[in-house]
Structure 1
């Protein structure tokens, strides 16, 4: 446990386990056919994260690609052995709103099977690649329920050029009567809009004291639990550079990598953290 006050809500720490070449920012210049030829750094980077969590006594939820699980089953077993929650990030990091319902079903089914085979535990949670679940995928939560999932953490209630559902509820909710519960990414309501307060590139770009203040406001003023996310490649400033990517994509991907681990250490000290299935246990039980 961190030094955070017990009266303040505990937040959920999550990791989206994917490699540096699988990010949406590079989708236009790194074809899927090249993935097998590229240096895989996900196991070493995730191992560093696991060691950091162990030092701080933090357990988290690891939303892991089925693609990664099939090639690194020992990593999946290590995640489970350390007491973390194993969850699904889909199989091939494809955008849900682009592949459609049938391909989505096949993707999450394959990912669940690969993760459960490697980890030996049931997989109940799902996070869509690049938060690609929202108004254009009204079938997604129903399909997740039909495929044996219990919850999704895939909706980001912000406006963004790559993702976002700014009109979605900010609190846990059920988008479809026959679907799983949605645990949306954390936002701060200010000046009539939702501001991102959940990690990722935003966490690397804004000054850490500003992010800390925003999350504390969510916890203390709203009494709400937050969800934080990041990726293994974000703690790897030595990763290969993709010169062919656009300027904006390179900026989003590489800015702040060198300071990410120090920021993460501070975050682990400043707040109380746990697995999604434990932090949101009352919501999942009610579902």
Structure 2
């Protein structure tokens, strides 16, 4: 391992290939049940990879997936991983009003807890869709029994982003813990360094350098995220999609699993709840716990 001192958080957003927000203009929500669902086999493969390295992760799981594949939820819990919420139907939080978001949160949380037999404390908004226009969502999260969120992405992006948000774990004014996904600060700009499409686009040494920088220079745990469909080069190709969507979704998709295996070897990884809520660093690939990340800060607005 290259940077054993800090345990980073490995997170999986459990959704299928046809549920990606960028595919919404091309695949109607009503057509989801007719699509080739591949999420079960892909989650099983991820669980195998994690088990081989004795790594535990956080799985932000859609209620829609859990309802149809309850065995996926049970396998996640049985593997010692954290079960967390990604909402029910992958609707952006920014597209919902307070009542609709509350209903979505309650439905997903209740379903996951019933199936998994564990408390669901974490939530990640689909497409990191909490920002300046709906900061009230943090109040709804607290009111529905969530202890933390990982829904902010402090970058500029055409689909999401809140570039002036704190880069690291912090308490919102209502006390809810927000743990943004990781960025690297270069000059006056935050660069994405936490996985997803960027992990597939950048050569692996770039992603490794970014996480090392956050660990060594910022002395913070990195938050890495990915989706089960990103290790599945055999997934169906959607005809008629625009060039940008095609590139973003499929770029280097055949290399992701190999890169993930290298990532698991190069760093220490653990669950979000144990790193940021419980005050104890979980067992990962290196055994003994190292120093904890810097203290959680607070925001006043």
* TM-score (norm. length: structure 2): 0.91
Corresponding pairs, count = 281
Partner in structure 2 of residue 190 of structure 1: 186
Partner in structure 1 of residue 288 of structure 2: none
List alignment gaps of at least 5 residues for structure 1.
none
Conserved? CA contact 1:4–1:272, under 8 Å: no
Partner in structure 2 of residue 254 of structure 1: 250
**Equivalent of 2:119, from 119, 122, 128?**
122
SS at match of 2:166: coil
C-alpha distance in 2, partners of 1:188/1:202? Answer: 13
* TM-score (norm. length: structure 1): 0.95
How far residue 246 of structure 1 moved from its aligned partner, in angstroms, is 1.2
* Runs of 4+ deviating beyond 6 Å: none
C-alpha distance in 1, partners of 2:251/2:3? Answer: 32
Conserved? CA contact 2:171–2:177, under 8 Å: yes
Partner in structure 2 of residue 164 of structure 1: 161
Partner in structure 1 of residue 286 of structure 2: none
Partner in structure 1 of residue 138 of structure 2: 141
User: Is it true that 1:57 corresponds to 2:54 in the alignment?
Assistant: yes
Change (3 A) 1:195 1:248: same
Change (3 A) 1:132 1:5: closer
C-alpha distance in 1, partners of 2:134/2:171? Answer: 14
**Equivalent of 2:260, from 242, 264, 268?**
264
How far residue 179 of structure 1 moved from its aligned partner, in angstroms, is 4.9
C-alpha distance in 1, partners of 2:163/2:157? Answer: 9
SS at match of 2:83: strand
List alignment gaps of at least 5 residues for structure 2.
280-294
CA RMSD of aligned residues (A): 1.3
